[in-house]
Amino acid sequence: MSSMKQIRTTPPDIHNSRSDLYFGLHPREIRLVTLRSGQWSDDIQCQLKHAYLANKSIYKALSYAWGSPRATRPILVSGIRYSVTVNLEAALRRLRQVNEDVILWVDAICINQSDNEEKTQQVRLMHDIYSNTDEVIVYLGEVLNHKSMISHDLVSASRHVFNYDDTDNEKLEIFRAHCSVKKLSRKERIDYAFDVFRFLCVLADESKTNHLASFDVHSREFKDSVYHENLFEELRKIMNCRWWKRIWVIQEVVVPNKITVVYGSSVAPWEMLVNAARWLSRNRISTTPFCFSNDNLTVLSYVSRISLDIERMRETWNTGKQTPLLSLLRRFKDRKASDEKDKVYALLSLAQSKTSIVPDYSLSVSRVFQNATLDIIKESGSLSVLIGDLGRKDRQDLPSWVPDWSSAYDDLDRHRVEAMENNQYNASGGSRLYVQTEDAEEWGGLRDYLKVCPEIRGPRLEVFNTQVGTTDWQEWLPSGADKSNLSEEECLLAIDGYYTSCRGAVCLEYLGNGMIRLPGISMDMVTHAWDIAPCDETISTVISTWVSFSTASFRRRSIGDAFVRTICADRVSSGSPNQEISTQILKVEDPDALDRWLEEAGLIFTRENTGEPQRNPIQTSGNINNAVRSAAIRRRLFITKNGRIGLGPPKTQPGDRVYVLLGGRTPFILRPAGWRSI
């Protein structure tokens, strides 16, 4: 924006007399910023004030991406010169009104970012801040320079508002005219960002899709039109805005009732974007009189996926359903945060159960990730959080058992892990875990698991009978114990003995310094391990290679059956690895389908036909092909000392141990590390 002040570079540790600006907040108190009215080119001036959430103040909350902390512009806040990022200054300029003040909540201004204690307190209130707001303004950013974009000086102060109703019809007629132009006049300058919003408005209303006839890749208008190329290039830029990749976006959009999206001078309701995404999702395989080019379909598919991913979470929230923290962490793992602690903190208020995690910015990222992992184990009573490729880490300060929630996103691993969590796998016989941390009082973990208060009212025996679900635990009480006058410690000690004997619930101990201890059974040792072939090779080539490895190591009559079951993880499906699909356990009654698949893959196995009738047979060999791709890509085939065959993480190597850990649905690969296993 040429009318804005020149960008200046400021070291991120300089804070412009913030000590004169911020005063302490009460526990349920926030700050609001009044954005003073002014002309487009005027300096930005704001006033801070305190407000209690209970008073239901009227304000709008800003959802935006901070941008680089080194590129800043000055504004005035309560008369004090204050540096904000370029993106925030642009957002405030866009939101400022000419004739009236605007009351906002903006995290970078309303929270003292230099005070970790205050940040901790305010982050705990974020859910309330966004649920109490009248409206959330999603600011995507400013329009980047475009070769055929009209001069920004001419549109800087303008606003193109879409109401998502009949008042938009005039805008859409202009869009239709642009679509039909074969060649742009040199004198004509088009605001492509504005036209992208027109395009989305058309997609959002199926009755208006007649405007899209010129998008048919077979039409002369499409082939000759530079307009279409420029329009989709602008759509790419919009979807590449940093806002779409932020982790805090999830809460900021899921919780509020009203959301408005701003991109440059274009303004539209969130519902318009979502309904456009729904149309795209329904019409990925065109059933309309037109179709898009492959390149443009890629862009549109991304628009649909990223918008609906947020909207589905919003719909789930609005129906009163909540999602487990583990699912949230996996689902939004690709989101970015300037402080990696926020990869956990930003999702806490959306989690199904009230977690024991309290936002604390004085903790290290490693400790926050450890706490999240322990909390998930505690709430689920299982090791589901440890399923998957735990070796895929960007951070080197994490214990081996802690997932790196900041590492690169792996959609395949996420879907593979979710498939493993259903009841079809049960390696440890349904045993459950409770967590005992180093700083918890004795028996605190078991007490939490049983959900009993420290001060039990009424006869202890009856309370514990109810919580355990049986009286069998009483057999572990001391001989001659007075059951009418039992201490809590006597009861918990007996219950612990009972659980240990039947493996109903066992203790996972957090020993501190990133170490845990839990019971398990050593099953075997890895003696051979092989990588999958490069992804550009066919499945048949990959499997042929693995077959040669496995049969060279041992030969048994059941090798064919064991091998096929292993490479598809004993599961078959009818969809692709990128879809959420139903699956079934592979049955020995499916030999015909397996034989067809092996034959099509060019492999030779001699399988015995049981002669028994098929039950729920696999319909096509393509199902098995999908299952193999989903299960085997980025995994290692391994063989154990006792002749077992399996698929393991990509870092599996000879000498690793195969364990069944109580509370785990699948076996685990552990590697000895001195006196402990990691």
pLDDT (tens digit, 9 = 90+) per residue, 385-428? 988 777 778 888 999 899 999 887 677 777 777 766 655 677 77
Say what the pLDDT of residue 105 is: 98
Buried b (16+ CB within 10 A) or exposed e, 212-243: bbbbbeeeebbeebebbebbbebbebbbebeb
Say what the pLDDT of residue 559 is: 60
- Report whether pLDDT(662) > 80: yes
- Judge if 42 and 159 occupy the same domain: no
- Judge if 188 and 117 occupy the same domain: no
Q: Domain boundary residue among 502, 531, 547?
A: 502
The strands making up 520-531's β-sheet, listed across from edge to edge, are 645-648, 636-640, 520-531, 657-661, 668-670
Q: At what angle do helices 488-502 and 460-468 cross, to 10 degrees?
A: 20
Among 572, 678, 580, 562, CA closest to 626? 572
- Report whether pLDDT(458) > 90: no
- Judge if 122 and 160 occupy the same domain: no
Candidate ranges 208-222, 338-352, 416-430, 499-513; pick with highest mean pLDDT: 338-352
Say what the pLDDT of residue 14 is: 37
Instruction: Tell me if 29 is assigned to some domain.
Output: yes
Alpha helices in 138-269 (DSSP H): 152-155, 169-180, 192-204, 220-224, 226-239, 249-254
Say what the pLDDT of residue 53 is: 94
Q: How far is Cα 31 from Cα 52, in angstroms, rounded to an integer?
A: 8
Count other Cβ atoms within 10 Å, centred on residue 505. Answer: 21
Q: How far is Cα 562 from Cα 585, in angstroms, rounded to an integer?
A: 14
pLDDT higher at 222 or 450 = 450
Instruction: Tell me if 512 is assigned to some domain.
Output: no
Mean pLDDT, the chain, integer: 79
pLDDT higher at 2 or 313 = 313
Instruction: Tell me if 610 is assigned to some domain.
Output: yes
Site of tokens 């939101």: 95
Q: What percent of the chain has pLDDT over 90?
A: 35
Say what the pLDDT of residue 447 is: 74
Query: Average pLDDT of 321-345?
Result: 90
Angle at 278 between CA 218 and CA 166, to 5 degrees: 85
- Judge if 283 and 156 occupy the same domain: yes
pLDDT higher at 639 or 413 = 639
Say what the pLDDT of residue 617 is: 42
- Judge if 472 and 581 occupy the same domain: no
Q: Domain boundary residue among 272, 296, 318?
A: 318
Provide the residue range defining the domain that includes 673: 520-677
Say what the pLDDT of residue 338 is: 87
Q: Which tens digit of pLDDT belongs to each residue from 228-265?
A: 788 889 999 999 999 999 999 999 999 999 999 999 99
Say what the pLDDT of residue 244 is: 94
Instruction: Tell me if 472 is assigned to some domain.
Output: yes
Q: Which tens digit of pLDDT belongs to each residue from 551-569?
A: 544 444 456 666 666 766 6
- Judge if 185 and 107 occupy the same domain: no
- Cβ-proximal residues to 248 (8 Å cutoff; 6+ apart), any chain: 63, 126, 337, 342, 346
- Report whether pLDDT(8) > 60: no
Q: How far is Cα 678 from Cα 676, in angstroms, rounded to an integer?
A: 7
- Judge if 588 and 455 occupy the same domain: no
Q: What is the reported pTM?
A: 0.78
Q: How far is Cα 308 from Cα 131, in angstroms, rounded to an integer?
A: 20
Amino acid symbol at 205: D
- Judge if 119 and 235 occupy the same domain: no
Say what the pLDDT of residue 147 is: 43
Q: Domain boundary residue among 318, 339, 372?
A: 318
Is the separation of the CB atoms in 322 and 350 below 8 Å? yes
- Judge if 498 and 526 occupy the same domain: no
Q: How far is Cα 678 from Cα 665, in angstroms, rounded to an integer?
A: 18
Instruction: Tell me if 252 is assigned to some domain.
Output: yes
Among 124, 122, 125, 127, CA closest to 112? 122
Q: Give the pLDDT band of residue 678 (cuts 50, 70, 90).
A: very low
- Judge if 472 and 526 occupy the same domain: no
For the chain, what percentages of helix, strand and coil (3-state, to nearest 5) are there?
40, 15, 45
Q: How many domains does the chain have?
A: 4
Q: What percent of the chain has pLDDT over 70?
A: 73
Instruction: Tell me if 3 is assigned to some domain.
Output: no
Say what the pLDDT of residue 625 is: 67
- Distances, alpha carbon 242 to alpha carbons 31, 194, 349, in Å: 26, 19, 23
Instruction: Tell me if 77 is assigned to some domain.
Output: yes
- Judge if 119 and 78 occupy the same domain: yes
- Report whether pLDDT(29) > 90: yes
- Judge if 304 and 436 occupy the same domain: no
Beta bridge partners of 139: 262
Say what the pLDDT of residue 564 is: 63
Terminal-residue alpha carbon distance, the chain: 54
Q: Give the pLDDT band of residue 604 (cuts 50, 70, 90).
A: very low
Say what the pLDDT of residue 618 is: 44
Q: Which tens digit of pLDDT belongs to each residue from 474-491?
A: 888 888 787 878 887 888
Say what the pLDDT of residue 610 is: 38
Among 338, 136, 366, CA closest to 257? 136
Instruction: Tell me if 196 is assigned to some domain.
Output: yes
Q: Which tens digit of pLDDT belongs to each residue from 270-324?
A: 999 999 999 888 876 554 445 667 788 888 888 999 999 999 999 999 888 878 9
Say what the pLDDT of residue 461 is: 77
